[in-house]
Amino acid sequence: MNAIILSAILGVILMFSGIFVTSKTAIRNIATAGMALLLLVNIAEQGGFHLFNVNTHNMLVFSKFGLLFNSIAFSATLLFFLVSAKDITNVGINAAEYFALIFFISCGIAIVSSFNSLLLLFLGIEIISIPLYILTGSDKRNLKSNEASLKYFLMGSFSTGIMLLGIALVYGAKASFSMEQMHSSINAGRNAWFYAGLLLVLISMLFKVSAAPFHFWTPDVYDGAPTVFTSFMATIVKAGVFIALVRLFDMSFVGSGYDWQLIIAIVTAATLFIGNITAIFQQSVKRMLAYSSIAQAGFMLFGVFSQNDFSREGIILYTLGYSLATIGIFAVLIKMKDYTFEGFNGLARTEPVLAATTTIFLLSLAGIPLTIGFFAKYFMLASAVKSGSHLWLVIFAILCAAISVYYYFRVIQSMYFKTGLAETEPVTPVFRWLLAGMAAAVIILGIFPNLVLQYLYF
């Protein structure tokens, strides 16, 4: 509860600081301090310290898993602020409002990580989506940004409509929005409604995490949005919706006797295949990262596919690893003058620190051992093996991971083995140190993943 209320209040505070504070540096500092406070308060709640005592009528249930996920999402956002806050304020004139919207999204993420009622799920997803539509179109003079925003808005509202229809059908079957009633035997004759409703909710959620075949909006929106916000959308927001998906599945489909695993297996395979194959043909690194985010979503779907302890650990690690690496790569990408692969030619000579850290992030995304990406993928695949069915999916996923190495290494190849003069915006030493710190975190967590996972259990 701490995080939900505080993030909303911080959002309002930042809205008003847009009126009263004129200095962009001050706004950046307020936002960063606010996010640090939010993280602290959430960690305090993990330790059993509650700032607010609100009776939620069992609509929200705060589990260790959800709170840990919040902490990870907030630390990733804090890192994102530290690395890219300057670029956020440079997007347009409404600097404070961009931060305010990000705080509202954090509120939505805190809701979906602990919802216990379909109503709250809907609210949370909407609180996440609506600020994103605005952030996507925040570069008002840019035609591509406008197009992306409108596309995202139209498609997103349709998928929200589908979700509402699904929730209505579930309500028709179970006469309740509460997740605890999902397995009650009321109206057992209406199980068809129940499954149809859950499938519709599932479709809408798969749309939000850009799983195939609902991924078509992703490349255009990620490409059109200002690069800083693409970084935020592709990492923290996506992971937040995944947590909602895992929670929803855990409490509805599992144990309902319905063969949902086959559906998820097919979606996962399609997502991995389309994401990886299309990423190969991209010329722009930004677009390649958009497709790679689809491919990575395929791996995160394993957390939904096999609901067991391994998958829960896996999705936490995956969120952390994927967010760290992708935020880092995007932070470097923003500094580049040219977003194509050729633009990275010879970066190792002009900016050795940037090139080295980007290499580590890319290795982590590809799942090379000694990086956190390896353990994230390992836990995901191990969970699928443990769940025992559809082993072909695991083999397919490994093949796709091998394909992904090709396009990730293309960037490394450009940076180190091709001659050219990669042009970058001026980079401060603080930025370099931050990137180096993130790269170090990727490696340390890749050797000792238990540093994070222990919080799941005590």
Partner 1 sequence: MNLFFLQNAVSASSAVNYLPIALQVLCAAGFVALTLGISPFLGPNRKTAEKLETYESGIHSVGNARQPVAIKYFLVAILFVLFDVEVIFFYPYAVNFRELGWNGFLAVLMFVGFFVCGFYYIIKKGALQWED
Residues that bind partner 1 (CB under 8 A): 12, 15-16, 18-19
Burial class of residue 424, CB neighbours in 10 A (0-12, 13-18, 19+): middle
The residue among 15 and 168 lying less far from partner 1, judged by its C-beta, is 15
Please report how close the Cβ of residue 15 comes to partner 1 at its closest, in angstroms: 6
The CA distances from residue 284 to 68, 224, 412, 425, in Å, are 35, 12, 14, 18
Tokens for 41?
A: 């308060």
Please report how close the Cβ of residue 18 comes to partner 1 at its closest, in angstroms: 8
Please report how close the Cβ of residue 100 comes to partner 1 at its closest, in angstroms: 10
The residue among 19 and 421 lying less far from partner 1, judged by its C-beta, is 19
Other C-beta atoms closer than 10 Å to the C-beta of 77 total 27
Nearest by Cα to 159 from 132, 192, 181: 132
Please compute, for residue 76, the number of CA atoms within 13 A of its CA located in the half-sphere on the CB side.
Answer: 33
The residue among 19 and 143 lying less far from partner 1, judged by its C-beta, is 19
The residue among 1 and 254 lying less far from partner 1, judged by its C-beta, is 1
Q: Could you give the CA distance from residue 67 to residue 44 in angstroms, rounded to a whole number?
A: 10
Task: Check if the beta carbon of residue 230 is closer than 8 Å to that of residue 185.
Answer: no
Please report how close the Cβ of residue 150 comes to partner 1 at its closest, in angstroms: 15
The residue among 50 and 140 lying less far from partner 1, judged by its C-beta, is 140
The residue among 5 and 356 lying less far from partner 1, judged by its C-beta, is 5
Please report how close the Cβ of residue 171 comes to partner 1 at its closest, in angstroms: 20
Tokens 């929106």 correspond to 221
The residue among 15 and 123 lying less far from partner 1, judged by its C-beta, is 15
Please report how close the Cβ of residue 40 comes to partner 1 at its closest, in angstroms: 25
Please report how close the Cβ of residue 12 comes to partner 1 at its closest, in angstroms: 6
Per residue, the 3-state secondary structure of 7-43, as one string, reads HHHHHHHHHHHHHHCCCHHHHHHHHHHHHHHHHHHHH
Please report how close the Cβ of residue 17 comes to partner 1 at its closest, in angstroms: 11
Sequence-distant (≥ 6) Cβ neighbours of residue 309 within 8 angstroms: none
Tokens 């249930």 correspond to 61
The residue among 120 and 394 lying less far from partner 1, judged by its C-beta, is 120
Task: Check if the beta carbon of residue 9 is closer than 8 Å to that of residue 51.
Answer: no
Other C-beta atoms closer than 10 Å to the C-beta of 259 total 9
